[in-house]
Amino acid sequence: MSFLFLYIYNKKETMPVAALKNLAKKHHMTRKSAEKKWSEAKVIVGKQYDKDDPAYWGTIMNITKAKMKKHNKKKSKKESRIYNFETFVNESLS
């Protein structure tokens, strides 16, 4: 059954909405930004692979996940800098 799903999925050439929704939730992103990461990855992979290549869709998903992790790390660093600044100010005023 999964082969049939992949065949239909590849023919439609749509993004896996449920998977992107779960990834977006996991990485604290909006679904729209997750879809943007998917589209960016699709452009990158399109330069390297044909759509008929078995690695095409998996590579798109792997690049999308990597972009989301990178986004999440940037967000975490920014939040920690804000926290450290607030901590510094609060401790200085105490």
pLDDT tens digits, 25-64: 888 889 999 999 999 999 999 999 888 888 898 999 999 9
**Is 24 within 8 Å of 30 (Cβ atoms)?**
yes
Backbone angles phi, psi at 65, to 5 degrees: -60, -40
pLDDT for residue 37: 92
Q: How far apart are CA 37 and CA 67, in angstroms?
A: 7
Mean pLDDT of 72-82: 62
The total of structural domains in the chain comes to 1
Residues of the domain holding 46: 2-93
* Residue 12 vs residues 9, 16, 31, 66: alpha-carbon distances, Å: 5, 11, 20, 24
